[in-house]
Structure 1
Amino acid sequence: MDLGISLTNFVAQLSGKNRQKIFLVGFLVSVALWLSLVRYRQIRLHETVDPPLELSPIPTFRHVSVYRRAPDIIFENFLDSILVNLKLSYAGSYDRDIWPKKVFQTAKKVDKKYIEAVSSWSSLNPEHEHVLMNDITAKEFVEKAFLSAPQVVHLYNSFPNPVLKADLLRYLLLYLYGGVYADIDVYCRKPIAEWVPENLWKSNADVIVGVEIDEPYAMEESQKLWGWHRPYGFSQYTIVAKPFARPIRTAIVRVVAHAHHLAKMNNKANPTLLSQYSAEDIYEISGPGMWTDALVDSMNFKRKDISWAQFYNLKQPKRLPTDGGAVIALPIQYFGNGQKHSNAGDYGHPQACVTHMFTKSWKRNSWFL
């Protein structure tokens, strides 16, 4: 029997209703194939159009945030005193020489794509308590633990963007409890105890951070093409700290103070009246920009000469003192591996302690893989 004739007879015998179903399925399959092709072309385009990084002979080792040009020192000192009093109320309940064995992460829920990353922390660090917070438990923690700091509580509850809440929450958790904070899409690559040499763990350091971007020679036009607010900075998707560390306290103060500053810039009585924050606002109020400044300024409590020059092209962990403690800065390969800049190395770099997949990145024109 002729196959062509058989198919023709079969189609002719279909009722109109069945024929419509077949045509609909065919149409949906065609649309799905078209969308897949479009997505494939987008991925290929993203892989091939990374702009060249044009360098300048003059590096940018210092950056002055708009929020640090005329800060409200009186207000910041007031906020700082509240947090100091909170620390004093816990005197005797913690040992400032011990790094708490805690890992904090926050998420509305752990999607399937994050399960492997989340489980990596417990599997590689079975001696650490793994605390996973959701929106409800986070709100309860902030309102109860920082009852004596209403400015912090009100700001946290008023933030319109979940990124702002997540940023502030990590500083609050580390200030009160210490331990490790990691974003939900960060993989632990080696046991925490192996991240730095034993002599550094036993030093008076109270904060460990990693370089995230290290391109101080990048020209301004090139920075814009890559979507950078600054050409250098420390990561805040993974932070290690002891309770009540000075840089963490400075970060909390500045989140609140910078939000109030933004409110004034927008003719608002206070930040609870702000309905939106731009990507740059977030970066400088609660994100890596503010965090980098808080760290560098904490190191400058006496010397006044610390700039990004001390961290450029860092090869080994570097310890710098702060007021009552010290910061250990890690080369970019430790936390920032897998990025297409700053000689970050690939995911398999032997120094890799964590790997951030950047699957929750809220930035546009990002530089990430």
Structure 2
Amino acid sequence: MASGASYLHFSTSSGKLLPRIILVAFLLATALWLSLVRYRQVQLNENVDKPLKLSPIPTFRHISVYRRAPDVIFENFLDSALVNLKLSYAGSYNRDVWPKKVFQTAKKVDKMYMEAVSSWSKRNPEHQHVLVDDVTAKDFVESAFISVPQVVQLYNSFPNPVLKADLLRYLLLYLYGGVYADIDVYCRRPIAEWLPENLWQSDADVIVGVEIDEPYAMEESQKVRGWHRPYGFAQYTIVSRPFARPVRTAIVRVVAHAHHLAKLKNKANPALLSKYSAEDIYEISGPGVWTDALIDSMNYKRKDISWEQFYNMTEPKILPTEGGAVIALPVQYFGNGQKHSNAGDYSHAQACVSHLFTKSWTRNSWFL
């Protein structure tokens, strides 16, 4: 009996100790995992902080995989549909006025973004500040672009919210014009002060800022920073008049490129795609397709515009497009605070907005 009693006591003690042992093991494993993650972050930061490895030959031109054999017939069909949409609004907007609207999109505004979001209303009280959530966005796309069902179908089929957000900014700006800004973009100066009056009064219908300006960066350095190209225009802040040609081109290409990817994946249409890589997103809906849409719009009559025209800009530059023009701003205007491209810090005298880069979706933030 004594041995039985001892065995019972041991079993009871073991039953009490087992959960504690499991908990301790879990905590140790968690601590080890966090240590490894931190070690990886430190390693990554050390690599990123190293000076860019430069090539003697710059990269001023990039041909996206989606532009090597584009479906011209399909793209022209989409473009015509969007032109018809524009014509249906004839007389309802003033081509000579920059709409006083600021659009931002988010499921909800977290506390960490409150100051950035409120900065737009604070510095631009004369602008209508519109926060678009998922439900409002879906309703807008389905009603406003009902005449272009390919746009609606693609928007609703996108599996990644980043893809939806990218396409949505182009659609909002195409129909309404105004300013689009990500919710982690802080407005530093009133919009009216971003440009001198003569540029506001010009024929320009799109204003963009340089984001990455490192055409001499070697591929190795680009990979460390998660760049898909060594140059590009910012997409987190865009200013546009309604129905601007470059915005229309961007919309056409988002749809066409998604269909192109579906074919590459042996899918009948984009609705059957369940996954997009970071590079897919960059070239289909993100800064890659936006940069190409801008440069190609400037080359509608000439073919000599490349990134060379925007390298190391120190003053705004205006270049004509079909029916309008693009004003390109030096990197310090929108891209300040980055650790590359001679972007300057957040307090730079030319800073109009500051992107906090807290919503970066790539493996490595473009901020680095």
Task: Tell me the TM-score normalized by structure 1.
Answer: 0.90
Task: Tell me the TM-score normalized by structure 2.
Answer: 0.90
Distance between the aligned counterparts of 1:135 and 1:94, measured in 2?
Answer: 26
Deviations 1:316-336 (A, max 9, x none): 000000000000000000001
Bigger mean CA offset, 141-150 vs 39-48: 39-48
Change (3 A) 1:219 1:23: closer
Aligned-residue offset at 1:197 = 0.8
1:110-189 matches, cutoff 5 A: 110-189=109-188
Deviations 1:30-70 (A, max 9, x none): 99998887777666555433243111111110000000001
Aligned-residue offset at 1:224 = 1.7
Change (3 A) 1:88 1:38: same
Bigger mean CA offset, 29-38 vs 130-139: 29-38
Unaligned runs of 5+ in 2: 1-19
* 8 Å CA contact 1:340, 1:367 repeated in 2: no
Q: Which amino acid aligns with 1:161?
A: N
Change (3 A) 1:37 1:282: closer
Distance between the aligned counterparts of 2:44 and 2:294, measured in 1?
Answer: 33
1:336-347 matches, cutoff 5 A: 336-347=335-346
Match of 1:312 in 2: 311
Distance between the aligned counterparts of 2:286 and 2:366, measured in 1?
Answer: 16
Aligned-residue offset at 1:228 = 1.0
> 4+ runs of 1 displaced by more than 2 Å?
22-49
Q: Which amino acid aligns with 2:138?
A: K
Aligned with 1:49: secondary structure?
Answer: helix
Change (3 A) 1:367 1:174: closer
Distance between the aligned counterparts of 1:153 and 1:321, measured in 2?
Answer: 30
Match of 1:296 in 2: 295
Q: Please, what is the CA RMSD of the aligned residues?
A: 2.4
Change (3 A) 1:43 1:83: same
Match of 1:235 in 2: 234
* 8 Å CA contact 2:357, 2:365 repeated in 1: no
Unaligned runs of 5+ in 1: 1-21
Deviations 1:118-164 (A, max 9, x none): 00000000000000010000000000000000000000000000000
Q: How many residues align?
A: 354
Match of 2:246 in 1: 247
Aligned with 2:343: secondary structure?
Answer: coil
* 1:280 is the counterpart of 2:276: no
* 1:49 is the counterpart of 2:47: yes
Deviations 1:235-273 (A, max 9, x none): 100000000000000000000000000011111111111
Distance between the aligned counterparts of 1:226 and 1:350, measured in 2?
Answer: 26
Aligned with 1:208: secondary structure?
Answer: strand
Aligned-residue offset at 1:279 = 0.4
Match of 2:328 in 1: 329
Q: Which amino acid aligns with 2:108?
A: K
Q: Percent same amino acid at aligned positions? A: 78
